[in-house]
Copies of this chain bind each other. A is one copy, B any other.
Amino acid sequence: MNSMTADDSYTILHSDRRNEEAMTGTGSAGLPPHLRERLERAPVAGLSAQLRKRGLNNVVIEGVRPLVPGQKLVGTARTLRFVPNREDLFDTHGGGYNAQKQVFDSVATGEVIVIEARGDVTSATLGDVLATRAQVRGAAGIVTDGGVRDASTVAGLPIPVYCAGNHPAVLGRRHVPWEGGGTVACGGTTVQPGDVIVGDDDGVIVIPPALADEVVDATLAQEDEDAWIAERVAEGNPIDGLFPMNAEWRGRYAQWREAQ
């Protein structure tokens, strides 16, 4: 890797945003503070609804859960791809300072490591030492559609981790760590380096970066509206006409907003 020049640092694959920066994590990763702050207040369910309104239905990383319920996850994707353990490839790529270790050693502040493990929960894809390294680097979280080992220790670290299960085995049981910085499939959707990743107890969602500002604004506005609706429902009003609001309810809502 070290002998590479800038000239050959871009893959011919037009479709990835993978590059030297993505591999070494030297770039200015992470989200603008104002965007991050709003995303931290935006529930994933609300973001999902706004993305759906814009034609994006397949943006949920399915089948993962937070190791510790109630933890919000917000950051930009740093990707890592595992391929099935073929013994000869594990011999050449599995050991030493492999792609997995390179990614954890170079993850930047505010990044979320997103691991493609093909939904296989019969081995781990990370353990406590790597999770600690990511946390020390300032990573915003880890999402894997595979397993986690040392799960109780990892759960105790101050970094949110979403996974598909706990498993004691090392990754070599099922995986060869393959590459960092590429486009990955994770939990049934696709993640590119730099995508915005947000997670809570409902799940983890992927937001194309160019849409993040617009979507989070729309989500927070809808949250305000829904909170007001929820209060009306809690007061005993029927959903009919209120959720979604008809003209009459919308008028009252407008009045209420003005009065704030």
Contact = CB atoms under 8 A, between A and B. Distances in A.
Interface in A34-68: 43-45, 47-49, 52, 55-60, 62, 65
B203 A167 contact: yes
B11 A48 contact: no
A202 B7 contact: no
Contact of A149 (B181, B202, B229): B202
Contacts of A23: 12
B230 A129 contact: yes
Nearest to A179: B13
B60 A168 contact: yes
Given A86-B189, A150-B43, A170 B236 contact: no
Contact of A166 (B4, B11, B202, B230): B202
Given A12-B10, A129-B233, A132-B230, A86 B176 contact: no
Given A183-B83, A205-B168, A230 B128 contact: yes
A170 B49 contact: yes
A221 interface: no
Contacts of A184: 83
Contacts of A234: 132, 136
Interface of A: 1, 4, 6-16, 18-20, 23, 43-45, 47-49, 52, 55-60, 62, 65, 69-70, 83-89, 92-93, 97, 99, 101-102, 104-105, 118, 122, 124, 127-130, 132-133, 136, 149-152, 166-170, 172-173, 176, 178-179, 181-185, 188-190, 192, 200-203, 205-206, 208, 211, 226, 229-230, 233-234, 236, 238-241, 243
